[in-house]
Amino acid sequence: MESKLQLHGFNNLTKSLSFNIYDICYAQTEEQREAYIDYIDEMYNAERLTQILSDVVKIIGANILNIARQDYEPHGASVTMLIAEHELNNGQEPDNEESPGPLPDTIVAHLDKSHVTVHTYPESHPHDGVSTFRADIDVSTCGLISPLKVLNYLIHSFDSDVVTVDYRVRGFTRDVDGTKHYIDHDINSIQNYLTEDTQNSYQMIDVNVYQENMFHTKMMLKNFNLDNYVFGVNASDLGAQEAQSIEDRLRREMLEIFYSRNVE
């Protein structure tokens, strides 16, 4: 049995999870575009985002110290929470296994201060009818627990067509002998923290720099059903040529975001 690492004092490692979630939509007319943006603003207003982040805090076993939230004009919202985690119960070990995290459950460690934030960016352009909603989410912890355990919950809390995820462990902590440790858990890929159904639903690419404890995963939804992307109309009401043209524009938008470059 592997012996537990004995630290000198507090675990000073900072673990940061940052990711962008994109929802793609086709809204042809100005009225439909405005209706889509209004729908997004209502669906992901500051109150709803506060509830999502509150659930995230529960997953990492923390207490909320302070909440700052704001709905913006004309569009968008943001929420920031300062949190402090519970201390471990006697004999309880932190869950740092490279495996999917739960939907709200208790995972506890000890932590002085940390934060979770979310910002939303509804966006549209009148030329091709494509509208894109982006949510930027950051979960930062210092101590024993990895914020990767909240991935499943957050991906399922939004309509996620394209997701980009960054995870990095910063700093170092010392053991009782004074040796510095730059990471305190095994990780091969962010994908290992996703459930099997999520892995099967997305095309994924990893770009990892193991020696720097930096991990990056891109995800794009595999299945494409036009009915899930047109706003204000039914796909069955569109002509074959128009439907194909709309699908081409939507797929191009997803590919450009996934590969982070414009497609000619």
Going from N- to C-terminal start, the domains of the chain cover 12-85+110-259
**Catalytic residue IDs:** 114, 119, 142
3-state DSSP assignment of residue 230: strand
pLDDT at residue 210, rounded to an integer: 93
Buried-exposed string 120-142: b where 16+ CB fall within 10 A, e elsewhere? bbbebeeebbbbbbbbebbbbbb
Whether the bond between 126 and the residue before it is cis, its omega within 30 degrees of 0, is: no
pLDDT band with cut points at 50, 70 and 90 for residue 223: very high
- Phi, psi angle pair for 215, to nearest 5°: -135, 135
- At 20-79, the pLDDT tens digits run 999 999 988 888 888 888 888 888 999 999 999 999 888 887 788 889 999 988 888 999
Closest CA to 143 of 240, 62, 44, 253: 62
Fold classified for 12-85+110-259: S-adenosylmethionine decarboxylase (3.60.90)
